Amino acid sequence: MKDPVIEAKAITKTLGRGAGEVQALRGIDLSLRRGELTLLMGPSGSGKTTLLLILGCMLAPSSGEVMVCGAPTSQADKEGLAKIRRDHIGFVFQSYHLFPTLTAVQNVQLALDIRSERRRKARERSRQALKMVGLEQKTNALPLELSGGEQQRVAIARAIVANPSVVLADEPTAALDGSNGKTIMRILATIAHEQQSAVLVVTHDPRVLPFADRIIQIEDGRLVDERSGERERVRMPRSAAFGAD
């Protein structure tokens, strides 16, 4: 078994204070490994997003430890956590969060620009990333000129362009129709299997189940079930896999 990219040990998280205090996570142990697409599923309020934020180094646990690529994160300050995210993690958001005034390629390039990568090289890599998600024809389109599925693909290109160890995706198919959702999941599965990144998808969407290598259920802040997924074979050639809605 491969070494975990992210390892969470005995994570608890309490939100709010006094009468409004909520125990959002109650002793979570979880590992994400390269080459795996893991689904984190559970009802609303079960702690999915809180766990995603903690794994993504955006929220500190009340207790427990998160290790990213073998390094503990508990001692890192805000800038230190930002650097961990920059170096190891790519994010895909439910609402895409593209920059409306930048073109598709610039949105992707931004992920390299914050890493101080030289502009020419960053642009080339960004074009490659857009090509991987089947948007090589739309590099100069503004987000408003793209469909929801295309916008999400740009967001995925942005998340993977710097070759992160792990990609964390929050409800990436929630705003998409079945066809676009399927495309997005294919891309995420291929990122896990071909780029050997760890991919965690937080979702409500049962349509994504066939793409999972592993499915984790969370309820009331506890992991209640973990099983292997029923992944369909998506290891088709890249040119065929990406971009085909």
Partner 1 sequence: MSLALTLASRNLFYDRLRFIATLVGIVFSVILVMIQMGLFLGFGHMVSTMIDHASTDLWVVPRGAKCFEDSPLLDLKMRDRIAAVSGVTATIPLVIGFSDWRLESGEVTPVFIVGTDLRDGALQPWNVVGGNVQALSERGAVAVDRSYFDRLGVTGVGSTAEIRGHHVRVVAITDGIRSFATTPYVFVDLKSARSYTGTLNDRASNLLVRLNPAADREKVLQAVRAQAGDAEVLTPDEFRSRSRSFWLFGTGAGAALFAGALLGVIVGTVIVAQTLYSSTKDHLSEFATLRAMGSSNRYIYNVIIYQALLNAVIGFAIAAGLGAVVVQITAKSALPIVITPWLMAALAVLTVVMCVASAIGAIVRVVRIDPATVFMR
d(CA 167, CA 197): 7
| 42 is an interface residue for partner 1 by CB under 8 A | no
* Contact map string, positions 181 to 220, toward partner 1, x by CB under 8 A: ----------------------------------------
E-strand stretches of 74-176: 89-92, 166-170
11 scored as a contact of partner 1 (CB under 8 A): no
Assign 3-state DSSP to the chain and report helix, strand, coil percentages, each to 5. Answer: 40, 25, 35
- List, in order, residues 6 or more apart from 149 with CB less than 8 Å away: 176, 177, 179, 180, 181, 183, 184, 245
Q: Which of 159, 234 has the CB closer to partner 1?
A: 159
CA distance 114 to 117: 8
Nearer to partner 1, 55 or 135 (CB): 55
The interface region with partner 1, picked from 24-32, 33-41, 75-83, 183-191 by CB under 8 A, is 75-83
Q: Which of 63, 69, 76, 113 binds partner 1 (CB under 8 A)?
A: 113
In three-state secondary structure terms, 205 is coil
Using CB under 8 A, list all residues that contact partner 1. 49, 52-53, 56, 58-59, 78-79, 82-87, 89, 91, 93-95, 97, 99-102, 106, 109-111, 113-115, 119, 158, 170
